[in-house]
């Protein structure tokens, strides 16, 4: 009986370690991307808000983002993430309240303007600038800190 309990505990611990390693591998992959890919960024942002499980793949997260209307059906997983894409995904997934323009006409442009107003994104090259993976991670942390969550 004791052997079964120990074996069950070790199996559960192995599952947790495997999931944590899988998530860390995905984060390392995103951090190494310049520009960041939509599938990897979708995984991080949707997983951070529990819209996809941690064991999901970036492709599954991208499909969920398209299904939920966060990305248009014309986009592809390997497309680069623009500042405007990042802003829209952040406002939608993190449920960040916006101003009048965002409330009335939620769009990638309105999301960009909202995060620019809050000084959470780098606006130096405009809304169509491609972002690197580390900028995706930093911006998510800034939004989570603003919301009082765990960055």
* Whether 142 contacts 120, CB under 8 Å: yes
pTM above 0.85, yes or no: no
* 62 within domain boundaries: yes
Q: What is the pLDDT of residues 55-98, one digit of tens each?
A: 999 999 999 999 999 999 999 999 999 999 999 999 999 988 88
Residue 82, SS3?
A: strand
Beta-carbon count within 10 A of 120 CB? 20
The H or E element spanning position 134 is helix 133-146
Is residue 64 included in any domain, yes or no? yes
Tell me whether residue 151 is in a domain.
no
Q: Is residue 119 part of a domain?
A: yes
Q: Give the pair of three-digit tokens for residue 151.
A: 């960055």
Per-residue pLDDT of the chain (151 residues; tens, 9 = 90+): 545 444 344 333 333 333 344 568 888 888 888 899 999 999 999 999 999 999 999 999 999 999 999 999 999 999 999 999 999 999 999 988 888 999 899 999 999 999 999 999 988 888 999 999 999 999 999 998 888 865 5
Assigned domain for 29 exists: yes
Is the residue at 140 inside a domain? yes
pLDDT at 69: 93
Domain-embedded: residue 48: yes
Q: Tokens standing for 92?
A: 């939608």
99 near 114, Cβ under 8 Å? yes
The number of domains in the chain is 1
Domain that holds residue 50: 2-146
């Amino acid at each position: 009986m004791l052997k079964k309990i120990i074996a069950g505990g070790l199996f559960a611990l192995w599952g947790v370690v495997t999931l944590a390693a899988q998530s860390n591998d995905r984060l390392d992959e995103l951090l190494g991307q310049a520009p960041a890919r939509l599938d990897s960024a979708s995984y991080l942002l949707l997983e951070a808000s529990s819209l996809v499980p941690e064991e999901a793949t970036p492709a599954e997260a991208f499909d969920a983002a398209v299904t939920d209307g966060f990305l248009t059906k014309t986009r592809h997983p390997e497309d680069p993430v623009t500042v405007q894409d990042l802003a829209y995904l952040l406002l939608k997934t993190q449920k960040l309240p916006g101003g009048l323009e965002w409330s009335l006409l939620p769009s990638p442009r309105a999301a960009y303007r909202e995060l620019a107003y809050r000084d959470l994104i780098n606006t130096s090259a405009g809304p169509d600038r491609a972002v690197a993976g580390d900028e995706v991670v930093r911006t998510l942390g800034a939004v989570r800190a603003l919301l009082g969550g765990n960055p």
